Structure 1
Amino acid sequence: MFFEPPSAQEEALRPPKLGPPAWYAPPAEEMGAAVTSDLLLARTPNVAVTLPTIRAFTTGCLLDVEIVMRRRSLPPDDFQALQMSVFPHMISSVSARGLPDNLLRFGVRFADGTKATTVGQRFDLARLPQDPPASPQLSWLLGGTSLRSGDNDEGSLFNIGLWLWPSPPPETFELGVEWPDGGIELSITTLDGAAIVSAAERSVPYWPDPPPGG
């Protein structure tokens, strides 16, 4: 045989495959419990940012955000650039000197002033530390596009997930969004932390453990 599989010893020397750490994404075997919010976070003539639902897990919560765009009077190239800037991993000019206007950013702020934002997030999963960070984290989970009836090349809909770890305190807190190129100045919306914490108690695993002796 010309091509042979690796030996058992070689296979054992390979580093284990690690998924995203628990602080970076929802638990893989947990369903989460939905909290309906139906919130409009921001709206301009060309862009609407909404938060239809929040899914609560035992370790955090997932903010299910929708970004809807329409071109209207925007030149085609400008509209395409606006669509591409929905994907923050494609924007490389984020630095300590300032934030680029095409960077769509989200953040949360708790009652004690603690903040967590998506600015400066790393998307290289292989280089993420497995140990949990000392402060709350808001991780942008790369999403995709969706179709709705009447869709055409003049509009688009993007679904993204914002994973907030750990679960928020059981009190109101703020969710902020800002996107200068999208025409969105800093917009703050209040979320109900108590409702999220309560919903987390209803989150169940996809495959519950069988009862003892079952």
Structure 2
Amino acid sequence: MASSSFFPQFTPSEDHDEEDPPFQLADWYGPPHGVRPGVADLGVEIGRSESTVVSVQGADAYPAGVVLDLAVHVREGGREARRRLFAALGLHHGRGQLDLCLGAGGLRWGVELADGRRVTTLDESPWNERPEEADPSEWNPSHPVLDGVGRPQVWYDSWRRGIWLWPLPPLPTMRVVCAWPDRGIEETSVVVSTKGLHAAAARARPVW
């Protein structure tokens, strides 16, 4: 006696070999798909106190922008204290939104480009200003953009996350500013050469 299947009878769907065209987005949204970035050696400390160090540990560069590897190292007395700190640091990455979710004394940082334009982690998201009728493949904001990429990584005393900076900072330098009053870091700025970012961006190649 043949056993009956748990599943009901159905008609298999036909195979479709055609693929939908990829959804095109403007450059400011984030790093491009299908592109292998050039890697820049950009180790620079942007803030320090007795208990905390904030740094940019490297960068993945593309012709249109760069993913900065932001890192926080802390000197805390116990695991629970570190857990609470890193949980608060976890950037709330909604749809195109970079929100530090911290109080008045929390971490904030930003970049001033060589042409004088500035962007900080406290700025409004470009998602809030894009006109509804604007084509997402063509519209660009009139100012630089900082946005989170992926999820934060936590390992013992360190927290890291990729941060997309658009556009690629022009030559010759950019100024990175950091403050974290709750951790004893007063407003500090450091001037960074962008020559390495441009050299790395020139090495970016399509994956396929």
Q: Is the 8 A contact 2:41 2:196 kept in 1?
A: no
| RMSD over equivalenced CA pairs, Å | 3.5
The offset of 1:60, in angstroms, is 0.6
Counterpart of 2:58 (choices 46, 53, 59) is 53
Relative distance call for 1:123 and 1:158 in structure 2 (3 A) is: farther
Q: TM-score under structure 2 normalisation?
A: 0.70
The offset of 1:24, in angstroms, is 2.5
Q: Distance in 2 between matches of 1:85 and 1:19?
A: 34
Say whether 1:160 aligns with 2:168.
Answer: no
- Structure 1, unaligned stretches of length 5 or more? 5-15, 148-154, 208-214
Give deviations 1:76-130, integer Å, cap 9, x for gaps: 776544222212329xxx8xxxx833532221012332101121454989x9983
Relative distance call for 1:143 and 1:105 in structure 2 (3 A) is: farther
User: What aligned pairs does 1:185-200 form with structure 2 within 5 A after superposition?
Assistant: 185-200=186-201
Q: Distance in 2 between matches of 1:39 and 1:88?
A: 21
Q: Quote the residue 1:115 is aligned against.
A: 118
**What amino acid sits opposite 1:143 in the alignment?**
R
Q: Quote the residue 2:104 is aligned against.
A: 101
The offset of 1:22, in angstroms, is 2.9
Q: Quote the residue 2:4 is aligned against.
A: none
Name which one, 1 or 2, has greater alpha-carbon Rg.
2
Relative distance call for 1:143 and 1:102 in structure 2 (3 A) is: farther
Q: Distance in 1 between matches of 2:47 and 2:83?
A: 20
Q: Distance in 2 between matches of 1:143 and 1:172?
A: 28
The offset of 1:41, in angstroms, is 1.8
Q: Is the 8 A contact 1:145 1:156 kept in 2?
A: no
Counterpart secondary structure, 1:50:
strand
Size of the aligned set, in residue pairs, is: 181
Q: Distance in 2 between matches of 1:103 and 1:142?
A: 21
Q: Distance in 1 between matches of 2:174 and 2:81?
A: 34
Q: Distance in 2 between matches of 1:180 and 1:35?
A: 30
- Structure 2, unaligned stretches of length 5 or more? 1-6, 11-20, 94-98
The offset of 1:145, in angstroms, is 2.3
**What amino acid sits opposite 1:49 in the alignment?**
V
Relative distance call for 1:185 and 1:17 in structure 2 (3 A) is: farther
Q: Distance in 1 between matches of 2:150 and 2:185?
A: 21
Q: Distance in 2 between matches of 1:71 and 1:146?
A: 14
Q: Is the 8 A contact 1:46 1:69 kept in 2?
A: yes
Q: Is the 8 A contact 1:107 1:116 kept in 2?
A: yes
Counterpart secondary structure, 1:83:
helix
Relative distance call for 1:163 and 1:52 in structure 2 (3 A) is: same
Q: Quote the residue 2:16 is aligned against.
A: none
Q: Quote the residue 1:152 is aligned against.
A: none
Say whether 1:140 aligns with 2:143.
Answer: no
Q: Quote the residue 1:181 is aligned against.
A: 182
Counterpart secondary structure, 1:162:
strand
Say whether 1:42 aligns with 2:41.
Answer: no
**What amino acid sits opposite 2:49 in the alignment?**
T
Q: Distance in 1 between matches of 2:170 and 2:45?
A: 23
Q: TM-score under structure 1 normalisation?
A: 0.69
- Aligned-residue identity in percent: 26
Q: Distance in 2 between matches of 1:85 and 1:21?
A: 31
Relative distance call for 1:29 and 1:39 in structure 2 (3 A) is: same
**What amino acid sits opposite 2:148 in the alignment?**
W
Relative distance call for 1:137 and 1:124 in structure 2 (3 A) is: closer
